[in-house]
Chains A and B, each alone.
Chain A
Amino acid sequence: MKTETKIKKSGLGARASRRISNTIVYIILIAITLVWLFPFFGIVLESFKVNTTAMDGELFPEVWGFDNYIRLFKETDFLKWFRNTAIMGVATAVFQTFFVLSMSYTLSRLRFKARKPLMNLMLILGMFPGFLTMILIYKVFSELGLTMEMAPVGLIIVYCASSGMGYYISKGFFDTIPKTLDEAARVDGATRMQVFYKVIMPLSGSIVIYTILMGFMAPWGDFMLASYIIHENSAGMSVAVGMYEWLSRTMVNSNYTMFCAAGVIVAIPVTTVFLCLQKYYVEGVTGGAVKG
């Protein structure tokens, strides 16, 4: 009897201490979440302010309205910048996905003499910061006429050109797909290309989506390189470069809330693409392929 109560007591004690530690963990997590969410909600709230165009130190708008959004489309070239960036996003997503996946599959499956040296070379090259080449890229592109209003084309080239070097993640994924699947398909009559798109691609949904997302998002977030190549030419501007103008010099007080509205709109396509594609993030898709 005595031991039984003891066990019960210790059981209760364990439950209580678990509850306490859980509470502490959740408090910390909630605090982190608040800090993390604050900028998002801050920007959304800021974009609905009608009474001011500057930072007024208030979190919630005194008067709510869509004035900033209306101004954005009426008074600025925002729509054009948005279109430029979207085109760049789609083009980069398409080409970059093609390059990255081809590269990854090649390095994962084919065995050739230069394979290891090539991978090492890319690893070393990848250690240099990309902006080291910025001046050179500008020089070359200005010779080719790919700056200013043609900047979107130039930027697509830049985003895609060395994208094959970002093969690490997808190669790592392809490495986990058993090689015997390739071999079975080849014996079944498939060419290497058919193996790639009939067997490997359907099994790589998540990594393909990941690569597409990365490609699509790159132009939306790039400011540094884009601002050099675009060079203050409104016709070729991307949203990041265009919006920067509003925050510079004396404009900050007259354009801040509009900047926030633009920020919200920029977030829409990226978020939409992500939400649409995330359902394809299927895990464990290789289950049952081979003994394991």
Chain B
Amino acid sequence: MANVKLTNVKKVYGKDTVAVQDFNLDIADKEFIVFVGPSGCGKSTTLRMIAGLEDISDGTVEIDGVVVNDLQPRDRNIAMVFQNYALYPHLTVFENMAFSLRLRKTPQEEVYKRVTEAAEILGITQYLTRKPRALSGGQRQRVAIGRAMVRDSKVFLMDEPLSNLDAKLRNQMRAEIILLRQKIDTTFIYVTHDQTEAMTLGDRIVIMKDGFIQQVGTPTEVFDMPVNLFVAEFIGAPKMNTFKTQLVREGDKYFVTPYGARIEVTGKKAGELLAKNVESQEIILGVRPEHMTLAKAGDADAIPCTIRVNEMMGSELHLHVEEANGDRLIVRIPTITLEDEQRKSMTYGQTLHITFEGKVMHFFDVQTERNLLA
């Protein structure tokens, strides 16, 4: 239970390979924070610097107000769960979980109590006498979490703990981590490349790219107001549709003109554009696939497209469509809204008209790719 503060943290490998830079972040006590980004963005490196497994090239890391830059991992009072579990193969599950307590010379009864309690919570009591090799992937990951749980550590670090599990188990374990979080009330720092995990687990999400923080915010914030094109495309699945178009200002009203259609900006976004006094200009427009809807041919806001791929997901259809210029867009349509006839007609090569509402758009600067409203 502690706050973690990173100030101007930088990591350089060798002479000039910069992995992380200008990393500033205040993590509150008991907060669940998620570092997310594509591989090579520096998220794991940052976590490992907090853990003490990597040297910090520049800047400071504080845990509970103490600068820990030069402290060994064992002196930082942190617990960590690794992607590949890292269980001690020569020890039983019980001894794996008791390892850190034994190193601290914890009394035997205390060790027994803590390990059995953690095993109870994780549902691995019946495996306590087994060796890790006799466990399945999911069970091993539980042991790894248990090993971190038995300690009263200040910070709980997790480095892609679910990446090695299959999709079904991953969903299950994700839910269990949320439950676990309520039981062990401590500061969590969680690294993942999966935006779904980030969105569902984090109190706040830190989105990283090329060693820089792109945005820090709650899941709602980063989803509703991505600060730049990268965040917009990274968060949300399938990814946001983005395309160049004109933003036209006519008095107090704004319109966008994608692919010959004309759609008025409405709702909060219109007010914000006006408040910022944004002039007519070329922009990159972003619209999430779930905000795209079907339109009638001939309507002013209809964009004609050709269906290229139709992915039937069960509850919804993911239509990959191609616009006349060759731009690819993805449209998510709930199957319940479609008539059977209509659904059957959505096949390769068919023409389709799509549109979107004025209140769901995101506007990005063509040069800087920053959100015009952020």
Q: Does A203 contact B (CB under 8 A)?
A: yes
Tell me if A189 and B85 are in contact (CB < 8 A). Answer: no
Task: Give per-residue flags for B45-87: 1 if the beta carbon is below 8 A from chain A beta carbons, else 0.
Answer: 0000001110000000000000000001110001110111111
Q: Does B133 contact A (CB under 8 A)?
A: yes
Q: Given A188-B99, A188-B147, are A291 and B84 also a contact pair (CB < 8 Å)?
A: yes
Min C-beta distance of B150 to chain A, whole Å: 10
Known: A180-B86, A184-B80. 4 other contacts (CB 8 A): A187-B52, A190-B103, A191-B74, A290-B82
Q: Report how far A183 CA is from B157 CA in the complex, Å.
A: 13
Tell me if A289 and B137 are in contact (CB < 8 A). Answer: no
Q: Does B344 contact A (CB under 8 A)?
A: no
12 example contacts (A-B, Cβ-Cβ < 8 A) are as follows A181-B88, A183-B53, A186-B53, A186-B73, A187-B52, A188-B99, A189-B104, A191-B74, A198-B99, A286-B89, A289-B132, A291-B84
Interface centre among A189, A191, A286, by most chain B C-beta atoms within 10 angstroms, is A189
Task: Give per-residue flags for B125-136: 1 if the beta carbon is below 8 A from chain A beta carbons, else 0.
Answer: 000000111110
Q: How many residues of A contact B (CB 8 A)?
A: 25
Q: Does A194 contact B (CB under 8 A)?
A: yes
Count A-B pairs with CB separation below 8 Å: 87
Tell me if B135 and A290 are in contact (CB < 8 A). Answer: no
Closest residue of B by beta carbon distance from A289:
B89
Tell me if A288 and B140 are in contact (CB < 8 A). Answer: yes
Q: Does B245 contact A (CB under 8 A)?
A: no
Q: Does B100 contact A (CB under 8 A)?
A: yes
Q: Does B183 contact A (CB under 8 A)?
A: no
- List residues of chain A with CB within 8 A of the CB of B132: 288-289
Closest residue of B by beta carbon distance from A183:
B53
Contact of A184 among B82, B131, B133, B137 (CB under 8 A): B82
Q: Report how far A291 CA is from B99 CA in the complex, Å.
A: 20
Min C-beta distance of A35 to chain B, whole Å: 41
Tell me if A203 and B74 are in contact (CB < 8 A). Answer: no
Closest residue of A by beta carbon distance from B87:
A289
Residues from 312 to 365 in B contacting A, C-beta threshold 8 Å = none
Q: List chain A positions with a Cβ less than 8 A from chain B.
A: 178, 180-181, 183-191, 194, 198-199, 202-203, 285-292
Tell me if A189 and B84 are in contact (CB < 8 A). Answer: no
Contact of B133 among A186, A191, A202, A288 (CB under 8 A): A288
Q: Does B268 contact A (CB under 8 A)?
A: no
Q: Given A183-B82, A186-B74, are A291 and B51 also a contact pair (CB < 8 Å)?
A: no
Tell me if B103 and A285 are in contact (CB < 8 A). Answer: no
Q: Does B168 contact A (CB under 8 A)?
A: no
- List residues of chain B with CB within 8 A of the CB of A289: 85-89, 132-133
Q: Given A285-B89, A286-B89, are A189 and B103 also a contact pair (CB < 8 Å)?
A: yes
Closest residue of A by beta carbon distance from B132:
A288
Tell me if B84 and A180 are in contact (CB < 8 A). Answer: yes
- List residues of chain A with CB within 8 A of the CB of B79: 187
Min C-beta distance of A176 to chain B, whole Å: 12
Tell me if B90 and A285 are in contact (CB < 8 A). Answer: yes
Tell me if A291 and B133 are in contact (CB < 8 A). Answer: no
Q: Report how far A206 CA is from B132 CA in the complex, Å.
A: 20
Q: Report how far A186 CA is from B51 CA in the complex, Å.
A: 10
Tell me if B137 and A190 are in contact (CB < 8 A). Answer: no
Q: Report how far A111 CA is from B53 CA in the complex, Å.
A: 13
Q: Report how far A202 CA is from B89 CA in the complex, Å.
A: 9
- List residues of chain A with CB within 8 A of the CB of B53: 183, 186-187
- List residues of chain B with CB within 8 A of the CB of A189: 74, 100, 103-104
- List residues of chain B with CB within 8 A of the CB of A191: 72, 74
